Chains A and B, each alone.
Chain A
């Protein structure tokens, strides 16, 4: 890690730094984490930062250690993201996000006739599959419709 990158990640006292997000996806990462405008903690992000593998985004969430399930959701839109849990300016843990096998209430089904898009008391549910080309495919557990591209556009 270069000193410059080191600085970006460790510049917060406590919280979570999500690094190596595909450039342009930082706002979607916040959405998928459910971090909205009314969030009280400091949230900052770097967009289009130069990285070893090209441009990337970085998101820093202060005062909050995100749990594994929340973090793994990120892999739907940023499969190469890494997560740093920080306490007292020290990187306590550093790990890659892992594609979950199942997600609930994260993405809306694209089939307008799907029961999950009605007023029934249910959440959207999808099984998550890695496609042959390495992308992510979501299959609705209710109607079996498949979302294979632009997943970020269908975030709840």
Chain B
């Protein structure tokens, strides 16, 4: 299997074998990500970070991955400077930057922009998030975290929070279905997982459950994937207040949890996880943030063909 010159646009472009290969590569690169081993794998390579909307966390994670591998970065500079390029269409920007860099990481507010970019690029494109649809490097890092801290095959997982709009959980569902996971969706009725996704999973013989309370699942799962419920989704602020408190994960709730439960969250969190949870062995979300570095290292090196 060769990843050289391959674009990373959508999780749906990857088979289970290919995902495994990315995760294996991330594991090999983990000592480099931790700064315990030196690597010059990206020596002489230039990577363009084209962020057309702010996403400091994703950008810093990519920058860390590139720097640890000895690569060089070019970017759009300040937001004001990049707004100068707004007169130019994205297709032309991609054609030009392809002539400068060996790989482009693109973050763009329009849905499908990364797919379009891949049609105009002469170098690999890694989608760093396009609109509200895809964010494959987030899903790869979620999978890596689950594999490192728990296990992927036949996993019992609950996903909680905003399941209606949360793109990270949508692609995570798809990816986990390749590993035969059992999934329970925990959300207020207003924010349930889209019926189309649930139907797709059932068609693949995936065991799917739905509930609106943690109590129903907490004793029976190995991973709890939390997401943020965003206030702006609610027309009525009072409605939000009710929902917010209903989906708050507290230390008390965790008294009935299985000892090896792992709690993930793509961060940033607001108030859906109480601070006392941070000190428990269940909390895994800061570790998860770190795992973004080896995962992005793997995708960068594979796409540029410096690792087979």
**Which residues of the other chain, B, contact A144 by a CB distance below 8 angstroms?**
10, 12, 112, 133
Q: A54: CB under 8 A from chain B?
A: no
B110 touches A113 (CB 8 A): yes
**Which residues of the other chain, B, contact A145 by a CB distance below 8 angstroms?**
111
Q: Which residue of A has the minimal Cβ distance to B90? A: A120
Q: Which residue of A has the minimal Cβ distance to B9? A: A142
CA gap between A140 and B111 in the complex, in Å: 10
Q: B70: CB under 8 A from chain A?
A: no
**Which residues of the other chain, B, contact A146 by a CB distance below 8 angstroms?**
196
CA gap between A74 and B91 in the complex, in Å: 31
Known: A122-B91, A143-B133, A144-B133. A115 touches B113 (CB 8 A): yes
B111 touches A111 (CB 8 A): yes
Q: A141: CB under 8 A from chain B?
A: yes
B111 touches A115 (CB 8 A): yes
Interface residues of B in 96-134 (CB under 8 A from A): 109-113, 115-116, 119, 130-133
Q: B89: CB under 8 A from chain A?
A: yes
Q: What is the total number of residues of chain A having a CB less than 8 Å from a CB of chain B?
A: 17
Q: A121: CB under 8 A from chain B?
A: yes
Known: A120-B89, A143-B131, A143-B133. A114 touches B110 (CB 8 A): yes
CA gap between A153 and B119 in the complex, in Å: 28
Known: A113-B132, A143-B131, A143-B133. A122 touches B116 (CB 8 A): yes
B111 touches A119 (CB 8 A): no
CA gap between A120 and B108 in the complex, in Å: 14
B189 to chain A: closest CB distance in Å? 23
Q: What is the total number of residues of chain B having a CB less than 8 Å from a CB of chain A?
A: 18
B194 to chain A: closest CB distance in Å? 11
Q: A14: CB under 8 A from chain B?
A: no
B10 touches A118 (CB 8 A): no
CA gap between A145 and B130 in the complex, in Å: 14
Q: Which residue of B has the minimal Cβ distance to A148? A: B196
B109 to chain A: closest CB distance in Å? 8
**Which residues of the other chain, B, contact A72 by a CB distance below 8 angstroms?**
none
CA gap between A116 and B112 in the complex, in Å: 8
A121 touches B112 (CB 8 A): no
B89 touches A143 (CB 8 A): no
A113 touches B131 (CB 8 A): yes
B165 to chain A: closest CB distance in Å? 13
B112 touches A140 (CB 8 A): yes
A142 touches B111 (CB 8 A): yes
Within 8 Å by CB of A142, from B12, B89, B112, B132, lies: B112
CA gap between A68 and B91 in the complex, in Å: 31
CA gap between A141 and B91 in the complex, in Å: 16
A126 to chain B: closest CB distance in Å? 12
A135 to chain B: closest CB distance in Å? 14
Q: Which residue of B has the minimal Cβ distance to A144? A: B133
CA gap between A44 and B131 in the complex, in Å: 45
Interface residues of B in 117-158 (CB under 8 A from A): 119, 130-133
CA gap between A111 and B130 in the complex, in Å: 14
CA gap between A146 and B195 in the complex, in Å: 13
B230 to chain A: closest CB distance in Å? 17
B115 touches A142 (CB 8 A): yes
CA gap between A75 and B113 in the complex, in Å: 29
CA gap between A142 and B116 in the complex, in Å: 7
CA gap between A146 and B111 in the complex, in Å: 13
B89 touches A119 (CB 8 A): yes
CA gap between A142 and B196 in the complex, in Å: 19
CA gap between A5 and B121 in the complex, in Å: 54
B132 touches A115 (CB 8 A): no
B91 touches A143 (CB 8 A): no
Known: A113-B132, A121-B89, A122-B91. A143 touches B111 (CB 8 A): yes
**Which residues of the other chain, B, contact A143 by a CB distance below 8 angstroms?**
111-112, 115, 131, 133
CA gap between A48 and B91 in the complex, in Å: 46
B10 touches A115 (CB 8 A): no
Q: B residues touching A (Cβ–Cβ < 8 Å)?
A: 10, 12, 89-91, 109-113, 115-116, 119, 130-133, 196
Q: A residues touching B (Cβ–Cβ < 8 Å)?
A: 111, 113-116, 118-122, 140-146
Nearest 9 interchain pairs by C-beta: A142-B112, A143-B111, A143-B112, A115-B112, A115-B110, A115-B113, A113-B111, A115-B116, A142-B115
